Amino acid sequence: MEREVKFSLVFRDMWQSAGKYVPRVDQLVKVAPAIIEMGCFARVETNGGGFEQVNLLFGENPNRAVREWTKPFREAGIQTHMLDRALNGLRMSPVPADVRKLFYKVKHAQGTDITRTFCGLNDIRNIIPSIGYAHEAGMISQCSLCITFSPVHTVEYYVNMAKQLIEAGADEICIKDMAGIGRPVSLGKIVAGIKKIKNIPVQYHSHAGPGFNMASILEVCQAGCDYIDVGMEPLSWGTGHADLISVQAMLKDAGFKVPEINMEAYMKVRSLVQEFMDDFLGLYISPKNRLMNSLLIAPGLPGGMMGSLMADLETNLESINKYKAKRNLPFMTQDELLIKLFNEVAYVWPRVGYPPLVTPFSQYVKNLAMMNVMAMEKGKERWGMIADDIWDMILGKAGRLPGKLAPEIIEKAEREGRKFFDGNPQDNYPDQLEKYRKMMLEKQWDKGQDDEELFEYAMHPAQYEAYKSGKAKEDFLADVKKRREEKANATASAEAENKTKVLTVDVNGQPYRVTVAYGAVDPATLTAAAGAAPAQAAAPAPVGEGKDVLSPLEGKFFLVKNAQETPKKTGDKVNKGDVICYVEAMKTYNAIRAEYSGTITAICANPGDTVSEDDVLMKIV
């Protein structure tokens, strides 16, 4: 008798593995009927992970998005599932237990059937509470094994982890091969080992980038896997997932019972996805993310992170080349930076204890590597900037690291007076719902149906405030406009007969963008190629005397990162080493500390403003 294998469309991850954003709610509702009409999906991944932060960045209400997006699937009998980061909930940093519990109640009420819970460290202490929260809310608890390839991540390691989760009450197990670097035969052994423990549903999730995943899909299905996550054109392969049509054909040939695909509906979905890309989403998708890349095998970076990495890389490259331009050094190319980053990830990863390279720890390792590369390119030493959230991972506050820390990391922690922690990670993050409830009452904000707005504020405080003020939408629309103009300028430049080159030159300490061209070139073309009008002198710093506190990197400026902190204001006295503000970059809040004691005389940016490297953030006298 043929054994049945079912398909899940990971629509959210398809987008976030390709670029920075997912479709708006109106686009999601538009495509849902065609996905249902395809007739081949038992499940669809509708939300979770960065999905709701993206809604907030759009200036959209994420709760409305989830309710409207899940509704048609549930009515059609298709299960919806979402990604849950265990201790981190839906964000990059840890979440209090009462917020995690409300999270499950809200998501079930909004129409989500299954929570795919993972801990980025594979620490089951962080996952087990979510099993209870899911069951209490009436949801299916699917617990994940985050697959990576290292000396400590063996078949036995993963089978033992699955055994503990099943004993704790997990309804299903997900093999979360988030970087696609799981070796096919080993993955088959892991699935077979799980099925020997208990014959519960197993779902396999993988990314195509390194090139293993078609072989891996066949191996796990032969070992007893029940569900396969798939993508579809034009967002399959590359940093995304194996394509539905290819997987179906392969499994059918191997003798499995697989659902048929309504190809007319498939083409509708394909056309709509392309329509959304042409609208604005394609502005945030690097063409390189559509390519397979065996270089990903060594650093093991996940597809979901590679989507945003290429966008971040542009900013990092610009920062490095600004430094080089001031010193008449040769510019670096994006490919050169990418290789340096991959090599640095391979250096950093074992030294910080082999955390599985999945959100948020893949970002932490990548951010550490990127900061090291940028520092070394500017003549500085490694490990100069380590964000507090990354320190929490290193010190054990987020869970136990699978491997051992390098002596140089331990020595740095001890030198800075940091304490290691081996207790229950949740104990570090006390309940906060009542605090946010009180703040909403003071602001006269509605807590929402099923307390969903309260949940959203407590889960994403900074982004939620930017959404409520309208700043998020304003910034997003401005960014889309800027990218469209840049794309138009780049197209015009590429079509010009004579090539031009934009350089940044330093004249008496003032940077200017200039265009060098050969042959007769129309001045309008030069302006288009430069992508901007001639550089103007920087606006004078706000009134206030004292020494400048400069931003060490480009990102968004915030005075606090959560409601527990009190924002600094002019007139406040600070001591050397105090955290005075943050620059949020690459999904991490980087603490900016006072380099000297004194009084804040000026705050030179507003919360949520984009700042460049070396911009003045504050003045202290």
Strands 616-620 and 598-603: antiparallel
pLDDT in tens, 89-125: 998 889 999 999 999 999 999 999 999 999 999 999 9
Coil vs helix vs strand at 105: helix
Residue for token pair 């006390």: 430
Residue 502: pLDDT over 60: no
Asked which of 309-323, 404-418, 474-488 is least confident by mean pLDDT, the reply is 309-323
Rounded CA separation 319/297 (Å): 27
Sign, CA torsion 391/90/119/190: negative
CATH 3.20.20.70 is held by the domain 6-232+250-285: yes
What's the CATH fold of domain 547-620? OB fold (Dihydrolipoamide Acetyltransferase, E2P) (2.40.50)
**Each residue of 154-210: pLDDT tens digit?**
999 999 999 999 999 999 999 999 889 999 999 999 999 999 999 999 999 999 988
Q: In the predicted model, what is the mean pLDDT of residues 554-574?
A: 87
- Which of these ranges, 132-141, 195-204, 360-369, has the smallest mean pLDDT? 360-369
- Tell me what percent of the residues of the chain surpass a pLDDT of 70: 89
Q: What percent of the chain has pLDDT over 90?
A: 60
By C-alpha distance, which of 429, 74, 40, 476 is closest to 264? 40
Exposure b/e, 30-60, CB count within 10 A at least 16 = b: ebbebbbebebbbbbbbbbbbbbbbbbbbbb
Which of the four pLDDT bands, split at 50, 70 and 90, describes residue 535? very low
Do residues 129 and 97 make contact, with C-beta atoms less than 8 angstroms apart?
Answer: yes
Most trustworthy range by pLDDT among 57-66, 143-152, 583-592:
143-152
Pairwise CA distance, residues 351 & 394, whole Å = 10
- CB atoms under 10 Å from CB of 320, counted, come to 21
Q: Among the listed ranges 204-218, 220-234, 331-345, 499-513, which one has the minimum average pLDDT value?
A: 499-513
The 10s digit of each residue's pLDDT in 588-605 is: 788 898 988 999 999 999
AA letter at 75: E
| CA geometry: angle 474, 479, 480, nearest 5 deg | 100
Distant-in-sequence, close-in-space partners of 391: CB < 8 Å, separation ≥ 6:
413, 418
The yes-or-no verdict on residue 512 having pLDDT over 90 is no
Per-residue confidence (pLDDT) for residue 538, from 0 to 100: 40
Buried b (16+ CB within 10 A) or exposed e, 397-436: bbbbbbbebeeebeebbeeeeeeebeeebbebbeebbeeb
Tokens at residue 129, please? 């509470």
Contacts of 461 (CB under 8 A, 6+ apart): 436, 562, 563
| CA proximity to 600, closest of 613, 581, 583 | 581
User: Residues 428-457: what's their mean pLDDT?
Assistant: 95
Q: At 263, is the pLDDT very low, low, confident or very high (cuts 50, 70, 90)?
A: very high
The confidence score (pLDDT) of residue 308 equals 56
Higher pLDDT, 588 or 610: 610
343 or 520, greater pLDDT: 343
Q: Domain locations in the chain?
A: 6-232+250-285, 294-428, 471-530, 547-620
What are the start-end ranges of the H helices in 416-470? 433-443, 452-459, 461-469
What's the pLDDT at 45?
A: 96
Mean residue pLDDT of the chain comes to: 87
Q: State CA 158 to chain mean position distance.
A: 24
User: In this predicted structure, which of 55-69, 158-172, 308-322, 337-351 has the lowest mean pLDDT?
Assistant: 308-322
* Least confident residue range of 317-321, 459-463, 538-542, 599-603: 538-542
Q: Which H or E run includes 33?
A: helix 25-38
Residue by residue, DSSP assigns 147-172 as: ---STT--HHHHHHHHHHHHHTT-SE
Q: Mean pLDDT over residues 45-50, rounded?
A: 87
Residue 146 has pLDDT above 70, yes or no: yes
Residues 370-397 have a mean pLDDT of 89
Neighbouring-strand partners of residue 234: none
Given this chain, do its domains 6-232+250-285 and 547-620 carry the same CATH topology? no
E strands, 518-613, where?
A: 547-550, 555-558, 573-574, 579-585, 588-593, 598-603, 610-611
Give the model's confidence band at 50: pLDDT under 50 very low, under 70 low, under 90 confident, else very high. Answer: confident
- Phi–psi pair at 402, nearest 5 degrees: -65, -35
- Assess contact for 73 and 38: CB atoms under 8 A: no
Measured CA to CA, the distance from residue 30 to residue 127 in angstroms comes to 35
- For 206, the token pair is 């993988």
Confidence of residue 335 (pLDDT cuts 50, 70, 90): confident
Which of the four pLDDT bands, split at 50, 70 and 90, describes residue 431? very high
Using the predicted structure, report yes or no on whether residue 314 has a pLDDT greater than 80. no
Structure tokens at 319: 């920062």
301 closest CA partner among 382, 230, 374, 356: 356
Strands 500-507 and 616-620: unpaired
Q: Between these two residues, 62 and 554, which has the higher pLDDT value?
A: 62
pLDDT at 82 over 60: yes
Query: Does pLDDT of 528 surpass 70?
Result: no
Report the pLDDT value the prediction gives residue 418, as an integer from 0 to 100: 93
| Phi–psi pair at 367, nearest 5 degrees | -65, -40
Q: What is the mean pLDDT of residues 292-321?
A: 70
| pLDDT on residue 507 | 56
Tokens of 59: 């200036």
